[in-house]
Amino acid sequence: MQEKDIIIIGAGLTGLTTAHYLNKSGANFHVLEKMDRPGGVIHSATENGFNYEEGPNTGVLGTLEVVELFEELKDSCELEVAKDEVNTRYILKEGKWEKLPSGIMGGIKTPLFTWKDKFRILGEPFRSRGKNPHETLADLVKRRMGQSFLDYAIDPFILGVYSGDPEYLVPKYALPKLYNLEQDYGSFIGGAIKKGFQKKDEELKKVTRKVFSAKGGLSSLTNALHQSAKKENFSFGVENIKIQQKDGQYLVEGQQNRQTVAFLCKQVITTTGAFALEEMLPFISATDISKITNLYYAKVIEVVLGFNEWKGRKLDGFGGLIPFKENRDVLGYLFLSSFLENKAPKDGALLTIFIGGVRKAYLTELPDEKIKVIVEKETLDLMDLPEFKPDMFKIIRYTNAIPQYGVDSGERFETVEYLQKQYPGLFIGGNLRGGIGMADRVKQGKELAGEALK
Ligand SMILES: Cc1cc2nc3c(=O)[nH]c(=O)nc-3n(C[C@H](O)[C@H](O)[C@H](O)COP(=O)(O)OP(=O)(O)OC[C@H]3O[C@@H](n4cnc5c(N)ncnc54)[C@H](O)[C@@H]3O)c2cc1C
């Protein structure tokens, strides 16, 4: 049995960030990971001139922690932000791609929203605050902005971020910044304007909210973290991990190459999905753990298409999202090669397509041949392709892709707090709380390291 001060379970972006900061502080720690590589759902690959992602494709520089992390790792991993000139996002309406408007004129002219809602939006700053903290996103948007804003702005945005359903997500937990705009300023528009005028210090100016990746793919980031946290501090391929209390400490046991590995530690930090916790933490009561493990995850299929020569519509944007109302079998397209460098051969294209999500989970049960038929039909139609002959075609399936922060989230967050108090030295992290995006994961990873070092 080895003795360590801190054990981290999971070497995804959260666990890797925690490990990076613990290592910087000279802590005595070790990371146990089920898979045989670091990165968790982040996995980039290169094949025949295409550099693609099997998990998340891009993040948003939305927290200071992610900006600082890239600065710290700049010798081993290069931040890549989306090309400035590519800033259009498309939304499908009645089978036609429309630009998502950004300015006032665009907002007036766009066919995405009804005239009634365009006029209605003028009254948004004067509408009273919502009083129900558990109001769904759909109800909040309908109340403040109108049905067409829900259908053709928020719904596709939610598909892009959560693969989710606005009728299920609760803004207090799923989109706290939006929720707080209404609670703090009484209005989305008024709040956004006031916030825009607030003076930002130099640090906050770095949080540009630009779309990011890393040169060579997002695995460059997770590999750099693995390296900086020192490879000898990691064990991969460790399965059936169980944590038990022992003499005021924690005994962490697992199986690696059919042998038992065991660690005695003062603190243990879990960064796995909620679904892994029941088996891992047998000393927690079934009632308590179920308040965490009942978290619902969207199922998603990601299809990567590579073309050596692109003959379809001009890929002059980030991509296109497809509102649920349009009743299509794909959630949207990301034109990765149009805003990041070296993703496809010159004159070629790399596209990522998402299928399934909360409202079309049944599509994720279809076999590969059927998925291929869907992708061919939709792509020929939506991308104006004369023929469907991709040079690369990959199907990646995620059963527990994106956690859905619904009405039960408050109870989940409280249970985590309660358990951490009840069992000193236990930290329950991961995307079951603290946000689902990569920038949130980095923020939490750093915070977990800080809490453990306290
Ligand atoms: C398909 C997809 C697309 C996404 N797109 C975006 C996007 O565009 N932008 C964005 O910002 N975010 C996106 N995300 C979300 C983002 O990628 C994740 O929130 C983030 O990478 C999760 O990091 P993590 O370390 O918390 O979890 P994970 O990456 O899931 O890492 C958890 C680790 O724990 C390990 N583990 C699990 N159970 C055990 C166990 N019992 N024992 C040991 N180890 C275990 C896993 O193997 C894994 O390595 C996407 C996610 C998915 C799945």
Instruction: Going residue by residue through the chain, which has 454 residues, state the pLDDT in tens, using 9 for 90 and above.
Output: 999 999 999 999 999 999 999 999 999 999 999 999 999 999 999 999 999 999 999 999 999 999 999 999 999 999 999 998 898 999 999 999 999 998 888 888 999 999 999 999 889 999 999 999 999 999 999 999 999 999 999 999 999 999 999 999 999 999 999 999 999 999 998 998 898 888 888 888 899 999 999 999 999 999 999 999 999 999 999 999 999 999 999 999 999 999 999 999 999 999 999 999 999 999 999 999 999 999 999 999 999 999 999 999 999 999 999 999 999 999 999 999 999 999 999 999 999 999 999 999 999 999 999 999 999 999 999 999 999 999 999 999 999 999 999 999 999 999 999 999 999 999 999 999 999 999 999 999 999 999 999 9
Which segments of the chain belong to CATH 3.50.50.60?
A: 2-42+60-77+217-295+405-453
The number of the ligand 1 atom at minimal distance from the alpha carbon of 435 is 19
The number of the ligand 1 atom at minimal distance from the alpha carbon of 16 is 25
The number of the ligand 1 atom at minimal distance from the alpha carbon of 396 is 1
Provide CATH code, domain 297-403: 3.90.660.20
The number of the ligand 1 atom at minimal distance from the alpha carbon of 430 is 26
CA–centroid distance, 41 to ligand 1, in Å, is 4
CA–centroid distance, 401 to ligand 1, in Å, is 8
- The pTM of the full predicted model, rounded to 2 decimals, is 0.96
Beta-sheet strand order (sheet of 332-334): 96-99, 89-93, 319-321, 332-334, 349-356, 297-307, 392-403
CA–centroid distance, 335 to ligand 1, in Å, is 22
> Which protein residue has the closest C-alpha to ligand 1 atom 53?
401
Provide CATH code, domain 113-199: 1.10.3110.10
| Domain 2-42+60-77+217-295+405-453 class, CATH top level | alpha beta
- 3-state class (DSSP) for residue 433: coil
Q: At 303, which amino acid appears?
A: V
Taking Cα atoms as reference points, which of 8, 36, 7 lies closest to residue 239?
36
Residue burial 406-445, b: 16+ Cβ < 10 Å; e: rest: bebbeebbebbeebeeebebbbbbbbbbbbbbbbbbbbbb
Distance of CA 62 to the CA centre of its chain: 12
- Return phi, psi of residue 262, to 5°: -140, 140
The number of the ligand 1 atom at minimal distance from the alpha carbon of 14 is 25
User: CA–CA separation, 125 vs 116, rounded Å?
Assistant: 16
CA–centroid distance, 54 to ligand 1, in Å, is 11
Residues with CB under 6 A from ligand 1: 9-15, 32-35, 40-42, 55-59, 241, 271-273, 276, 280, 300, 302, 398, 401-402, 430-431, 436-438, 441
User: CA–CA separation, 49 vs 63, rounded Å?
Assistant: 32
DSSP string, 25-58: TT--EEEE-SSSSSBTT--EEEETTEEEESS---
Residue with tokens 């790399």: 350
> Which protein residue has the closest C-alpha to ligand 1 atom 9?
59
User: CA–CA separation, 206 vs 221, rounded Å?
Assistant: 19
User: CA–CA separation, 131 vs 387, rounded Å?
Assistant: 53
Which segments of the chain belong to CATH 1.10.3110.10?
A: 113-199
Q: What is the pLDDT of residue 107?
A: 87
Q: What is the dihedral of CA 232, 235, 237, 241, to 10 degrees?
A: 180
- 3-state class (DSSP) for residue 308: coil
CA–centroid distance, 195 to ligand 1, in Å, is 32
The number of the ligand 1 atom at minimal distance from the alpha carbon of 15 is 25
Which segments of the chain belong to CATH 3.90.660.20?
A: 297-403
> Which protein residue has the closest C-alpha to ligand 1 atom 20?
438
Taking Cα atoms as reference points, which of 404, 12, 445, 427 lies closest to residue 173?
404
Taking Cα atoms as reference points, which of 315, 373, 385, 374 lies closest to residue 343?
315
> Which protein residue has the closest C-alpha to ligand 1 atom 4?
56
> Which protein residue has the closest C-alpha to ligand 1 atom 41?
276
